[in-house]
Structure 1
Amino acid sequence: MEKQNVKDRQHATKIIPFIQTGEYYFKKGLKTYRQHDIYKSIKHFKRAIELEPNEPMFLCQLSVALTEIGDYVLSNQYLTKIIDEPKFDMPECYYFKANNYAHLGLFQEAAKHAEWYLEREPDGDFVEDAEDLLDLLRLEEDDDEVSANHQDELIVKQEHAREFLETGRLDEAVTLLKEIIREYPEFWSAYNNLALAYFYSGDVENASEILDEVLSKNPGNLHALCNSLVFLYYQRKNQQVKELTRRLSFIQPMLFEHRYKLGATFGLIGRHDLAYKWLRNLQRSGFEGDETFYYWLSYSAYFTKHFDVAKNAWKRVLEENPSKKGSAPWESDSTKPISDVLDRWLTGDFIEERLYGLFLASKTNSALARKDLKHIQFHATLEQEFANYVLAKKKKSEKIPSYIIDGYNIADTLFTQNKHDDSANEELYLTWLMIYDEAVKRQFNVSNWQAWAAATEYIWRNHVSRTITQQQVAEKYKISKATVMKYVKFVKELLH
């Protein structure tokens, strides 16, 4: 009888599926917003909008949260979506935009939107606030009203241009940016965006000319330098990429925006060590980035063996964009066989990558790892001689120059000293092989293996924020501190 009752209850039970609607995420967003967890509330509001993109209350609440964290430009973009749709009828959005414009210093636009709000809703909830804002704005007025109008007009136009770029309306972006440059010939941001518009549309020549113009007039413009690096990378101008990467690697920017630009640029060209340095630095400083930020952080962390950071960052990517599922760095690369990994290095764009591929091949016991080396077309004598040494199974021969044996053994010394250290990675060996290439060109003596290895490790570890003293590295390699100091100077000279 008991069995029958259980069976009856099973038939009577209905499974009610849990459907996560836009309303569900909106309520979660409101709850976290009231708990002053603004960043989490923004995530929930964005998810609500993904599920119900035409709900004006969701858009409006997200804009309010964005104002809280100081993202006034993006807040206004969401408010504009509401205002541009007559059926939504939410005049308070004019006041919210006025408030944002005031924060941005666009006082003319702020006053205009506050007045529009009062016209449309003279008895609204924000009437007193709008009037107070107008009183405050009148106090800010000065005799230079024409200049203020021009500044407002400039920034509004720049906002529109950026929106055109982000939505792929490149012809409109080019037209508007050219207009801005004619009116404001020293507004460098417009030049950089115009270069990007040309580049996205396939006009690389015009894009490069624009950046050359910026850098001739404003040589330290970081955005122009980073964009130049990306353009050179896609044009496979490897030597220029290498030189500009070195220059940018020594820059120490203060602004979050510049650190982000550097980190994302280094990530895009495959310099994961440098990308991780800046993106992780931003995260530790409390920076709350977007999907793109966490994408590059995850990739740079994974390829520098910071696997926990990579996985946590990838979770943030999927929260923002679930369609990225299946494209994590470990899902796309970690399952490759050793032959594929070697092929990636042996066919790399830079000589240090190809030398590292040869060194890696020498460290495998697989015949497969070396079977194709005889047929690879190397770009330089140094690579061919290095390959000959690896193929000779590292036997000393009169045909093998001593600097080839020395260069290999310095890489091997670094390997021996760091093979049990999880913080060491391929970038350490790439750093040495980059130094080695320059040392051979400039006929430096590289016979002191321990000294060159110690100096390389000292420079590398301090460059990627893993501090080590010259005394510590001297003890590790069993040489004097004075010798370390001497060879550190050599390394710095070669890197510069």
Structure 2
Amino acid sequence: MVFAMVGDILKKGRIIPFEQGAEICFRSGLKYADRRQFDKALKYFNKAVQIEPFNADYQFNLATVYAELQDIRKSNEILMGILVNINPALTECYFAMGCNYFDLQDMKKARECFEKYVYHDPEGIFADDAYDILYYLKFYDGAQGRKRKGKNSSRLAREGKKLLDDLKFDEAYNKLEKALEEDHGSVDARNDLAVLCFLNGDIERAISLEKSALILQRDNPFSLCNLAVLYSYKGDEEKLNYQLDSLTYSPVDFRKQLREIEEMYKKLCEVAKAVDVHRLTDSIEGILEGMEKKSIKWEKEWDDVIECAVQNRETIYRAGYEKELRSIWMNYIRRIDPDTAPVIRKREVWAAVLEYVYCRRHLIRVSKSSLAKKYSVSPSSISYRLKDFGI
């Protein structure tokens, strides 16, 4: 009877098909990759990437599967895309590309990638392997090549910026792309390329580029402000609110920078038609109003709490650990009465509390006693402060 009823419902088309989310697809891909069923893993990783194209973890695992399937060039294309568009600090991409070029017998490029890996992450998890390979390749004089590349990248970035200012967008785009291919660490090139992507209608890549710039330089004023502008223009209220916290609770006054960005876009939008300049100026006004509403006098001792927690972070915590702690901390301070703002007598207590809240959010097992031992405080002091967080 039950099967007959289900059959009738299916015939009438009343069942909504279940759509797998990116994280479910990703975990399925990992499962098949662990079993070395790479064709199936490829299918699920591709689905995850289609849903969230700017997720570095998804892209990296997709690249490793392509490498296992001997599609080395596709693998390297994805790895390069991660460094350029998503996370220039993901140094494992250099090691993976080095292995790929080694398999292709392109020893020159393999040496370049392994050298970049040990230069950027000398104590990384693959550092010993990279040093061994470099030893056998007799690659010891890479410093001069690195300097030449850095100078060339800086020149390309400057030329790209000038072309952007001269409203020659296509030429600027090509220069800035080349600059980032040669030097993934150029924050200025990332900022300028993000502006161009936004003007060309590719706001998702523009957002990813600004986020990657902040990985390299977390306090870069242009990146912080332009990311807020992009979120506001897109209408992503949740992420805009998060970004407003970064702009508001800072010793830096970002209002001047926002006005400069506004004037820059007004000039550039004389040529670019993909961006509605009126909507853009409204977005910036909204940001300034939002900052005014959130504004409180930020105390240095509150930053000391974040610093203490970051200094004691565990390796399993995600790359955005500091930003998430800051968001937890800011939201707490913002919602309490200004007259009862926390007085920090022992920053370690609050740091332990923030770490506990973070672990609860991410389903990471941690006990108050272990945190108390780690921060040299009492478990009762942690429990007492956790009440303020409803825990």
TM class, shorter-chain normalised? 0.3 to 0.5
- TM-score by length of structure 2 reads 0.41
Question: Larger relative CO (CA 8 A, sep 6+): 1 or 2?
Answer: 2
Greater Rg over alpha carbons, structure? 1
